[in-house]
Amino acid sequence: MTLHREGHTILISSAIMMMIINGATYYWLGPNSWIFMTVLALCIILYILFLQFFRYPTRDQTISDKHLIAPCDGKLVVIEEVYEPEYYKEKRLQISIFMSPINVHANWYPASGRVSYVRYHKGKYLVAWHPKASTENERSTIVIEKDNKTSVLLRQVAGALAKRIVYYPHENDKVRQGAEMGFIKFGSRVDIYLPLGTKVHAKLGQKTVGGVTVIADF
């Protein structure tokens, strides 16, 4: 287990800030003050939460040209036909995975192919499970085309706590299944849009493991 590079700046700056706060509290109130002890305990708990949030696990990934693999850890909360208005402008099968603050928040490519479309949209910070989160929240849209022209659209969606979406691909990049796609900071979800009729292997309510769980045929 290592720490994700997206957390380095936050972890260093928060450590410095906590040291200053605790140092000032210690200086003015002394080591036996209940206020100092409370502040110290809260800072330790908060920093441990930061460390677990930015953890980056080593995993034996599932690599298969026949399958779409989960792009993130979380809970599968949506499997339904919807109208996708940004890229396809037609009905697609939407699969959504909700990521709680305790999940690993790295995102992985669920399939290999060529990145044909990348867009970032500023937006609101509705709770990630809100029906309008996919179209109104801060989000990124990434489309991956396979050699046979089948494509999958991935949408990183910010939630009420997530304040920054990080994505790594550029248009025309060749990407590999299981490689790192991005990171979403502090709670969010990932939407997947597939052709109608796609055989889905995952079930509603299922816990997914990014880079490992088979979601559907592809």
**Cα–Cα distance, 65 to 98 (Å, whole number):** 25
Both tokens of residue 178?
């299981």
Question: Does residue 161 register a pLDDT over 70?
Answer: no
Which of 53-57, 89-93, 94-98, 184-188 is predicted with the least confidence, judged by mean pLDDT? Answer: 184-188
Neighbours of 205 (CB within 10 A): 8
Helix locations, the chain, DSSP H: 8-29, 34-53, 133-136
Segment 55-61 mean pLDDT: 86
User: In this prediction, what percent of the chain has a pLDDT beyond 70?
Assistant: 90
> 87 is written with which tokens?
């890229």
Q: What pLDDT band is residue 85 in, cutting at 50, 70 and 90?
A: very high
Average pLDDT of the segment spanning 94-99: 94
Pick the more confident residue, 97 or 138: 97
For the chain, helix, strand, coil in percent to 5 are 20, 40, 40
Rg of the chain over Cα atoms, rounded to whole angstroms, equals 20
Q: What is the pLDDT of residue 141?
A: 96
Q: Sort 33 into a burial class: Cβ within 10 Å, 0-12 / 13-18 / 19+.
A: middle
Phi and psi at residue 134, in whole multiples of 5°? -65, -25
**Tokens encoding 45:** 């708990």
Higher pLDDT pick, 98 / 123: 98
Q: Quote the pLDDT of residue 90.
A: 96
Which entry of 112, 134, 140, 188 is annotated as an active-site residue? 188
What local confidence, expressed as pLDDT, does residue 131 receive? Answer: 60
Six-digit token string for 143:
């489309």
Give the residue-averaged pLDDT of 145-153.
87
The answer to whether 188 is a known catalytic residue is: yes
* pTM (predicted TM-score): 0.84
Report residue 128's pLDDT band, with 50, 70 and 90 as the boundaries: low
Q: Which amino acid is at 39?
A: V
Q: What is the pLDDT of residues 7-48, one digit of tens each?
A: 788 889 999 999 999 999 988 998 889 999 999 999 999 888
Compute the mean pLDDT over every residue in the chain, rounded to the nearest whole number.
Answer: 88
pLDDT at 133 over 70: no
Q: Answer yes or no: is pLDDT of 121 > 70.
A: yes
